[in-house]
């Protein structure tokens, strides 16, 4: 039996983190697209890792529970890397809320019930959650603590209150970060930690979809006018994950780390600020 890492989302960011942290472990990789997950697993196994593919749908509690059960066949779950999700150009409002918001809440909740003592998790949020105007304290608490099965019934998440897919995505990512805070309290009772990383524009296939989508010019302008003047790489996200998931991050839990080349700073106080 080995310590087990669950990786959801067979993409560049998740794989970069898994390659940084998953040596010597069994890595159970879940993704809705079986071909994608098989390709990622092959790359990892050809590099000496021990990974297995599992077809899973983050929008389904049953699928999430099946993934956890599959992981437990190999040993105790000691790491979670949740990098699954859909972007505003890839899915309608309902799917974004079901996958990015509800699915992430279920995953953090259920892994938190079985995570090994000393275990750690990271979930990938987004800079988008930082652009949305502040919610009320009551709304934040509802996003943080409402039982996962009731989340999608909250008034603030109903169709009449969600403007478009970008707003749905921002709300999902705000919820992710609030859930991490609340779950950190529960994970702490098991001697485990959970944090979030909110990347800016990272060059991945998903980002390239965005560059070529309806908001492509917006995104290209964003990285051109942020302090770093460029998009990021998956390995730079993994640098932060390595800190959070290693012993060097032992005092860090319930936090979200913004890694966006200063784009959010520029949005509020620089050339990316919207016209008033």
Residues with active-site annotation: 169, 173
In 3D space, the residue among 201, 205, 196 whose CA is nearest the CA of residue 175 turns out to be 196
């Amino acid at each position: 039996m080995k310590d087990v890492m669950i990786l959801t989302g067979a993409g560049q960011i998740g794989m970069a983190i898994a390659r940084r942290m998953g040596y010597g472990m069994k890595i159970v990789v879940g993704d809705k697209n079986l071909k994608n997950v098989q390709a990622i697993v092959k790359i990892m196994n050809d590099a000496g890792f021990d990974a297995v593919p599992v077809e899973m749908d983050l929008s389904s509690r049953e699928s999430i529970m099946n993934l956890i059960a599959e992981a437990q066949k190999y040993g105790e779950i000691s790491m979670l890397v949740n990098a699954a999700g859909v972007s505003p150009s890839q899915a309608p409002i309902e799917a974004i809320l079901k996958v990015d918001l509800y699915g992430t809440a279920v995953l953090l909740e259920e892994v938190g019930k079985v995570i090994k003592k000393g275990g750690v998790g990271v979930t990938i949020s987004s800079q988008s959650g930082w652009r949305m105007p502040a919610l009320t304290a009551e709304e934040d608490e509802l996003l943080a603590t409402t039982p996962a099965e009731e989340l999608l019934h909250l008034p603030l998440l109903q169709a009449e209150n969600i403007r478009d897919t970008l707003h749905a995505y921002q709300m999902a990512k705000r919820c992710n970060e609030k859930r991490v805070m609340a779950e950190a309290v529960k994970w702490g009772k098991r001697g485990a930690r959970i944090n979030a990383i909110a990347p800016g524009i990272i060059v991945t296939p998903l980002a390239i979809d965005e560059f070529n989508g309806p908001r492509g010019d917006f995104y290209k302008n964003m990285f051109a006018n942020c302090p770093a003047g460029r998009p990021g790489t998956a390995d730079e996200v993994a640098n932060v994950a390595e800190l959070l998931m290693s012993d060097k991050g032992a005092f860090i839990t319930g936090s979200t780390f913004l890694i966006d080349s200063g784009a959010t700073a520029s949005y509020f106080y620089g050339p990316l600020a919207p016209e008033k």
